[in-house]
Amino acid sequence: MNQDLSIIHLVIGASPIVQLILLLLLTVSVASWAAIFRKARSFKEKSNLNDDFERLFWSGTSLNDLYVAAVRNAKDGGPMERIFASGMREYQKLRERRIDDPSALLDAARRAMLASQQRELDSAESNLSFLASVGSVSPYVGLFGTVWGIMHAFTGFGSLQQVTLGTVAPSIAEALVATALGLFAAIPAVVAYNRFAREMDRLTVKLETFVDEFSNILQRNLGVHAPAPAPAVAAF
């Protein structure tokens, strides 16, 4: 009995449609685990690179030296370093064109950094939608396989004179394997998606803070003053 109800025997004895669904769920599960490991490694690398650049940025190194290093390290640098390089590149291009308006220089550098920040966030967010889809759709695909398997089983029972528990159990167990595999694919994907969503929030805040801090440094270097508040209008 144990041999007849083993997972391998149940999969082999399932209907072709259920077997196809099981193969699909197994493929999705393997792909989601690969995406989970890849994203976990990517977030860890981004965090380490951002921390290294942030320490160097606040160590007193000149902006020009940081920019030269960032350009040289463009492919292997972290998101924060690439954002800094984008802002400095735009700033220096305008200076080379003899544009001396401090407000124009600051606005151009900030726009370049915000565009680079959005590209970095889009890159970091890749594959998260896949994990979300796996987590939300896999249980329903497994449930569909279970329903189809039960329908197939009861169709076969219709031709039997006598139905016993020993007759029903293998067919029902074959159908329930699809639901189990659907949950096996969905649960890790949901847990990983929630974790990576929190990592995305932390990365977004970190990059936004850096853009603001670097903009303030440029503002002080350029001597740009914040606009004075408008005078209050007396009510009559």
Query: Is the residue at 229 inside a domain?
Result: no
In three-state secondary structure terms, 196 is helix
Identify the DSSP state of 185: H
Q: What is the pLDDT of residue 198?
A: 95
Q: What is the pLDDT of residue 5?
A: 53
Q: What is the pLDDT of residue 176?
A: 81
Which residues form the domain of 179? 7-222
Query: Is the residue at 1 inside a domain?
Result: no
Q: What is the pLDDT of residue 3?
A: 44
Query: Is the residue at 196 inside a domain?
Result: yes
Query: Is the residue at 66 inside a domain?
Result: yes
- The b-or-e profile of 108-122 (16+ CB within 10 A means b, else e) is bbbebbbebbeebee
Residues with pLDDT less than 70, the chain:
1-14, 154, 156-171, 223-236
Query: Is the residue at 133 inside a domain?
Result: yes
What's the pTM? 0.79
Q: What is the pLDDT of residue 13?
A: 65
Burial class (CB in 10 A: 0-12, 13-18, 19+), 107: middle
Query: Is the residue at 50 inside a domain?
Result: yes
Q: How many domains, in total, are found in the chain?
A: 1
Q: Measure the CA–CA gap between 24 and 26, rounded to whole angstroms.
A: 5
| Token duo for residue 129 | 């939608």
Query: Is the residue at 227 inside a domain?
Result: no
Q: What is the pLDDT of residue 73?
A: 85
Contact 206, 50 (CB under 8 A): yes
Q: What is the pLDDT of residue 96?
A: 83
Query: Is the residue at 236 inside a domain?
Result: no
In three-state secondary structure terms, 1 is coil
CB-CB neighbours of 213 under 10 Å:
13
Q: What is the pLDDT of residue 134?
A: 94
